[in-house]
Structure formats: structure tokens, C-alpha cells
Amino acid sequence: MVDISDKEMSVVEHLHELRRVFLVSIVAVVVFAIAFFFARDFFLGIVKEPVASLGYDLQFLGVTEPVMTYFRLSLYLGFLAALPIILWQVWSFILPALKRDERKYFTIFVVLSYLAFIGGVAFSFFVVYRLGVQFLLRFAGEELMPMLTLANYVSFTIKFTLPFGLVAQLPLAAYLLAKLGVVTRAFMIKIRKHALLVIVIVSAMLTPADLLTCLLLATPMYSLFELSILIVGMVEKRKAKAREKAEREAEAAETA
């Protein structure tokens, strides 16, 4: 754990501490990944449930495809499980640079950030991804039989769910930046079109070349951006009311 005293650290000490943060984070991911690898059948059953519930199963085309896919899935789950440790390491590295009253708020931010990330991933998989995959498979009709390979399916699942965890940070980050006065509602509205374009481009890069899947990914992500605009607006209204109250109190004190 980093010494949270206010003494200054040299550049070399900062680099050593940063190296320790990376090493601890990597070890945590690897340890959790190994644990998930031994429980791979259980978690693969959860991942393939959207297609298994329709009576379909996954195939593999190469001899090494199953083991490599298990490694990939285990690393992803290991990262999700180790994320609290990773965030704690980042928090401990930044902590000495924060003022004492800022440390409490940053701790809350770290906890909420993890909950938002996991919540975004869970929502994307159990709601958006599940409904989207089942809709697309049903849309193909009973005359066609899908050839779903293990590697492609797991890779698609990871690419689909991970962005939701990242984008779920947006409302939280918007709230923090609005409190600090870095962003405003007017600024968020100004970049709305640019944000939509970026979201569509990223969604198209992460999903197969079909419009429907892209929309399944882009729509909730853009909804979070709109939610961020509302949050920034609420923060601005509260700050405006606080300023008005302070001004009234100052005027009352002057006239008294």
C-alpha cells in the first residue's frame, strides 16, 4: 500500500510505484483467470445460454480453437473479477497527490466506477446481447441452420459487452467533471453530433458488418450520453441555486 503521507517522491520512486501497480494488477488478473479456467465449463454455459436456449450449440473448426477460446474467456472474466484490485492500485498510486478532503470523494468514485462497469457489462449481456442474438437467430428462419463457431461467438460476446462497461462510466465521469466545472450542458449539447458519430463508428468496428447489430450496440451507448447531458444539467442547476443562496446570504449580511 502506498504511503499516503504528503512527503514528496522522486521521479524514480514514482516509476517504481507505477511498476508495482502494473505488476500487482497483472498478477491479480492472471490468478483470477486461472480460477475461471478451471471453472470454464460453468461460465461457458452462461455465455452460450442465449443460443443454447434456442436449441443451438457451438462448433469449433480447429484443434486448438477450444483451448485458446477458453484462455481468452478466462482472461476476460479474470479482468472483470480483478477490476476492484486494479482500481484500488490506481487509487493508491494517485492518493498521495490528493488533498485529504478529496480522498473521500475519490474513494466513492472508485467504488461507483466499478459498480457502473460491472453493471454495464451485465446489462449488455443479459438484456441487450441476449435479446439481440436471439432476435437475429429467429430472424434467419427455421429453414436455415446457423454454424456458430466457439471462437467467433466468444470473441463477439467480449467485443459486445466490454464497451458497455466502459461507456457506463460516462454518466459518472460527466457528474464529476460538471462538479469540477470542466464541462457544461451547453458543451455536451454542442458535441452531441460528434459523440453520435464516434459511437456509431466504434459500434461498427466492434460488431459484424450488419446494421442491426451495430444499432443494438450504439443505441444504449448513445442513451448513456444523453443521460450524461441530463446529469450535467442537474449539477449546473444545483450549483446555480447554491450561488443564488450564497449571494442572498451575502446581501443579507451587508444590509444587517
pLDDT band at 10 (very low <50, low <70, confident <90, very high): low
Q: For residue 194, what pLDDT is reported?
A: 93
SS3 59: strand
- Alpha-carbon distances, residue 83 vs 139, 169, 176 (angstroms): 37, 14, 20
The answer to which of 71-80, 215-224, 241-250 has the lowest mean pLDDT is 241-250
Is the per-residue pLDDT at 6 higher than 60? no
Q: For residue 193, what pLDDT is reported?
A: 92
pLDDT digits (tens, 9 = 90+) for 22-80: 899 999 999 999 999 999 999 999 999 999 998 899 999 999 999 999 999 999 999 99
Is the per-residue pLDDT at 95 higher than 90? no
pLDDT digits (tens, 9 = 90+) for 170-209: 888 888 888 878 888 999 999 999 999 998 888 888 765 5
Q: For residue 101, what pLDDT is reported?
A: 66
Q: For residue 160, what pLDDT is reported?
A: 86
- Nearest CA-CA partner of 129 in 147, 109, 106, 154: 154
pTM of the complete model:
0.76
Is the per-residue pLDDT at 3 higher than 50? no
| Domain boundaries, given as residue ranges, for the chain | 1-166, 168-256
Q: Contact at 8 Å (CB) between 185 and 232?
A: yes
Q: For residue 137, what pLDDT is reported?
A: 87
- Reading the block at residue 32, the C-alpha cell is 483470477
SS (H, E, C) 159-202: HHHHHHHHHCHHHHHHHHHHHHCCCCHHHHHHCHHHHHHHHHHH
| Alpha-carbon span 194 to 185, nearest angstrom | 15
Q: Taking all residues of the chain, what is their mean pLDDT, rounded to a whole number?
A: 85
Q: For residue 7, what pLDDT is reported?
A: 47
Q: For residue 5, what pLDDT is reported?
A: 44
